[in-house]
Amino acid sequence: GREGEVFVAAVQGRLEEVVVQDDLNERAAEAERAKKAGKKKNGRKSKKRHVEGKLLESARCAFLAYLRAYPAKEKAVRDIFSARALHLGHIARSFALKEPPKKLAKKRKEGDDDEEESAVLKSTGRKRNAKLAFGQDNAGKGTPNG
């Protein structure tokens, strides 16, 4: 009931605080390391790295993995679990993220016109075999029964 909702809201808030604090601690530690390294280099400029806390990085990776896995459902239930109907902000909150990662949200708004890019494997640089692609109806194509 109500007590359960209050408890869950409190836990959710605390998780978000822990993730944010971990990120702030990591950034402060990196700034301190850069400050010490800057003294050793005697004025040479160095590239600034974008540093994230391990919890924030893990939460983002888990969030993205969840979103990639969500549409990979059986064909019978795919229309029920529509990936386009997901609210990215709600899912981000479930991973203790205050908001969805900006890169992903920006891609989502643009409409995901990167189909050709996703057809290329990152590991080999070669195109994927269309017959092995998940989520596409290949029934009857090139089979003796079809």
pLDDT tens digits along 54-81: 888 899 899 989 988 888 888 888 888 8
How many independent structural domains does the chain possess? 1
CB-based contact 97:63 (threshold 8 Å): yes
Inside any domain, residue 146? no
- 139 part of a folded domain: no
Confirm whether 124 is domain-assigned: yes
Residue 68 domain-assigned? yes
119 domain-assigned? yes
Q: Report pLDDT for 115.
A: 44
Q: What is the pLDDT of residue 125?
A: 62
Domain, as residue range, for 100? 2-132
Task: Say what the pTM is.
Answer: 0.55
**Looking at the predicted structure, is the pLDDT value of residue 126 above 70?**
no
Largest distance between two CA atoms of the chain: 74
How many Å is the Cα radius of gyration of the chain?
A: 22
The pLDDT of residue 74 is: 84
